[in-house]
Chains A and B, each alone.
Chain A
């Protein structure tokens, strides 16, 4: 099978995966919650019961024959549209690009789900990417150092770091970092890093008035670059430092351990003996010969790591008051916002499946023996 066939097949399968996930989410939300929760996003004070019923009928939850709003609330026979019909109604809307309305508390009264999502999502994207880079850089370095000096001091230190990283809960670690920065790492009354928000203007190394940027992509890091506002870029990055460290602490531990073991394994292979017998410098032996092979298992877990950010981000965004999608998702769960949760779960699933696909494609490129 050729690589493109493999990719096509995986993309094809992805449609089914997303479909199944949307069904499951639908059952878990609308199937379990009272029918009225599907409508709550559309309701506002001062709406009459007939108006409410109209809306419920409009989004395909209440039947046309339902006599009154109270009958709908009380789940009278024949008043609530069967779940599978609700699903197809919802699916039809979604396929037309209409994700419905969100019931999240907001300033505008009415709030489309898609807008609620896309206001915040770019922040999470940049935080996740930043954390991923941090994880890869630190995780790989620690792993390689450990493996090449196996059972020596650097290895022990890195093992200790990893154990700490595994065992410390992220929320506690985040709070600890905040305390540390606020109480101990202060300069002229300013903490070294900002401890909340997505734009650090109040810290020792922050730039106080970064100005504004134009929203080309809605992702602040990219937009500040495109707008040529480096001060803004700096402040954005500085604000991500602590959340990203908190987010990466477990994944760094995980990645460095995986890399260490695959690196130790690779370094004991016969081809390393041959490489050494060729008189290559140790650096070439380690990076060109061992790392190329050891990287393969690490790549596999990198996909998982990236996916794990999606869960971790909820806690971290709360602690650091970071305006990403995680905190909204939490609010949506509390507010039983069915439409938002559907969107959130599907996008998450899409990211996870794509991350795995990219991992597999990378794998095929890096390992010539694998041909799908």
Chain B
């Protein structure tokens, strides 16, 4: 087959703002800008990694893509069709083509359902297979695909280990033969020794079933290992996107650089400067003017405060959202204490 790169999903200027009520009688609305203008493209059969710190909007972006949460603005084109406004039966049909695997396999499985009935139920709901015998066979086949034994079919979730539960969750997402899987932190509740099993499984399934993945994770090592392309999110926007090897070996956005330098490398001989940036991620309610990273950025200038940078391509397939082409390896040292305004910027905004 020709190595033709077709686009499966095209996202344009996607916004998701959550209103929160404040004020004397709860009339004033302010917004949590969880996704704040994201454009990206997901190619068929690739794995796109989305990394970012907690609260950067990764899950919200994923849920919006899946139409599990309605977007505030923007468009999502899936396989050539705009799905942003899709409803009713069309939406149900769309759901078969895109599936999701959650972080906590225990919470996403019904504790009173055996593995078999969890799988068969999905087929019944979507009417894909009506015959019980066939459904059972299909369930056995799926269990086999994800590396479990047929005797696991009769078990309840609590009779399975964490890794086995996650395998069941993956099997369930494969029931309807989707083209696209959204994996939201699929291994972060698993032990490291089991994480490798699941990552290997996901890679095998991708080639065997020709799947397209979006993998959300805050674990950069996992993303580096399994993703073809990587997008870095910061406060609701993508600040850098590119081929994984390009982005990890030659990060161009100062935030990506900081994020990568912050990961402690499991090798004592690799010397690392850990505290490359200061402060915490600010809340997505009161965003700074201009570039949203500027308060933590060691290179910030007046221009960064005045003007918000836009995502621009700096080399083929590699874009950043920064005004400058910086030489990040000769960076200024982090300065002393953070600015006054950052003190007490806790996660719970007191009135």
Q: Do chains A and B touch in the complex (CB under 8 A)?
A: yes
- Residues of A whose CB lies within 8 Å of any CB of B are 1-2, 5, 9, 369, 371-372
B90 to chain A, nearest CB (A): 44
- Which residues of B316-351 have CB atoms within 8 Å of chain A's CB atoms? 348, 350-351
- Would you call B22 an interface residue if the criterion is a C-beta within 8 Å of the partner chain's C-beta atoms? yes
A293 to chain B, nearest CB (A): 17
- Would you call B68 an interface residue if the criterion is a C-beta within 8 Å of the partner chain's C-beta atoms? no
What is the CA–CA distance of A371 and B23 in the complex, to the nearest angstrom?
12
B126 to chain A, nearest CB (A): 44
What is the CA–CA distance of A326 and B22 in the complex, to the nearest angstrom?
43
Closest to A3 in B: B351
Q: Is the CB of B24 within 8 A of A9?
A: yes
Q: Which residues of B contact A5 (CB under 8 A)?
A: 24
Closest to A372 in B: B351
Q: Is the CB of B24 within 8 A of A1?
A: yes
Q: Is the CB of B22 within 8 A of A1?
A: yes
Q: Which residues of A contact B24 (CB under 8 A)?
A: 1, 5, 9
Q: Which residues of B contact A371 (CB under 8 A)?
A: 350-351
A371 to chain B, nearest CB (A): 5
Closest 10 CB pairs of A and B: A371-B351, A371-B350, A1-B351, A5-B24, A9-B24, A1-B24, A2-B351, A369-B348, A1-B23, A1-B22
What is the CA–CA distance of A5 and B350 in the complex, to the nearest angstrom?
15
Instruction: Map CB proximity to A onto B19-58 as digits: 1 under 8 Å, 0 otherwise.
Output: 0001111000000000000000000000000000000000
What is the CA–CA distance of A347 and B23 in the complex, to the nearest angstrom?
31
The interface centre, meaning the residue of B25, B350, B351 with most chain A CB atoms within 10 A of its CB, is B351
Q: Which residues of A contact B350 (CB under 8 A)?
A: 371
B288 to chain A, nearest CB (A): 24
What is the number of contacts between chain A and chain B, taking CB atoms within 8 Å? 12
A223 to chain B, nearest CB (A): 42
Q: Which residues of B contact A372 (CB under 8 A)?
A: 351
A14 to chain B, nearest CB (A): 15
What is the CA–CA distance of A372 and B26 in the complex, to the nearest angstrom?
11
Q: Which residues of B contact A1 (CB under 8 A)?
A: 22-24, 351
Closest to A9 in B: B24
What is the CA–CA distance of A1 and B25 in the complex, to the nearest angstrom?
10
Complex A-B: 12 CB contacts under 8 Å: A1-B22, A1-B23, A1-B24, A1-B351, A2-B351, A5-B24, A9-B24, A9-B25, A369-B348, A371-B350, A371-B351, A372-B351
What is the CA–CA distance of A150 and B25 in the complex, to the nearest angstrom?
43
What is the CA–CA distance of A216 and B24 in the complex, to the nearest angstrom?
41
Given contacts A1-B24, A369-B348, 7 further A-B contacts (CB under 8 A): A1-B22, A1-B351, A2-B351, A9-B24, A371-B350, A371-B351, A372-B351
Q: Which residues of B contact A2 (CB under 8 A)?
A: 351
What is the CA–CA distance of A335 and B327 in the complex, to the nearest angstrom?
92
B26 to chain A, nearest CB (A): 9
B271 to chain A, nearest CB (A): 34
Closest to A5 in B: B24
What is the CA–CA distance of A2 and B23 in the complex, to the nearest angstrom?
10
Q: Which residues of A contact B22 (CB under 8 A)?
A: 1
B21 to chain A, nearest CB (A): 11
Closest to B348 in A: A369
What is the CA–CA distance of A322 and B25 in the complex, to the nearest angstrom?
45
B275 to chain A, nearest CB (A): 26
Q: Which residues of A contact B25 (CB under 8 A)?
A: 9
Closest to A2 in B: B351
What is the CA–CA distance of A1 and B351 in the complex, to the nearest angstrom?
6
The interface centre, meaning the residue of B23, B24, B348 with most chain A CB atoms within 10 A of its CB, is B24
What is the CA–CA distance of A113 and B241 in the complex, to the nearest angstrom?
80
Closest to B25 in A: A9
What is the CA–CA distance of A106 and B327 in the complex, to the nearest angstrom?
97
What is the CA–CA distance of A369 and B22 in the complex, to the nearest angstrom?
16
What is the CA–CA distance of A319 and B25 in the complex, to the nearest angstrom?
47
What is the CA–CA distance of A1 and B350 in the complex, to the nearest angstrom?
9
Q: Which residues of A contact B348 (CB under 8 A)?
A: 369
Q: Which residues of B contact A9 (CB under 8 A)?
A: 24-25
A1 to chain B, nearest CB (A): 5
What is the CA–CA distance of A341 and B159 in the complex, to the nearest angstrom?
65
A283 to chain B, nearest CB (A): 31
- Which residues of B190-216 have CB atoms within 8 Å of chain A's CB atoms? none
What is the CA–CA distance of A371 and B25 in the complex, to the nearest angstrom?
14
